Amino acid sequence: MSTESAMAALAALPEDQRNLLSLVSVEDLTYAEAAKTLNILIGTVMSRLARRRERLQHALDGD
């Protein structure tokens, strides 16, 4: 997987999904910190991240 394909797959996600992934994966916030930043429950962060990562993986796989 090239950096370009990963960036394109990330860019294809809706903004709210990119924001959450960026907070945790790029800015290295904990789930608790991301939840506080977005004013949502930590369980919501966890479930949303699982779905976003799955969606991103499907995009990278070409599904």
Q: In which residue are the tokens 């599904």 written?
A: 63
DSSP 62: T
Q: Is the pTM of this model over 0.75?
A: no
Sketch out the chain's domains with CATH numbers.
3-61 (1.10.10.10)
pLDDT tens digits, 3-54:
787 777 778 778 887 888 889 988 999 999 999 999 999 999 999 999 888 8
21, 52 in Cβ contact below 8 A? yes
Would you say residue 63 has pLDDT above 70?
no
The pLDDT value recorded for residue 36 is: 96
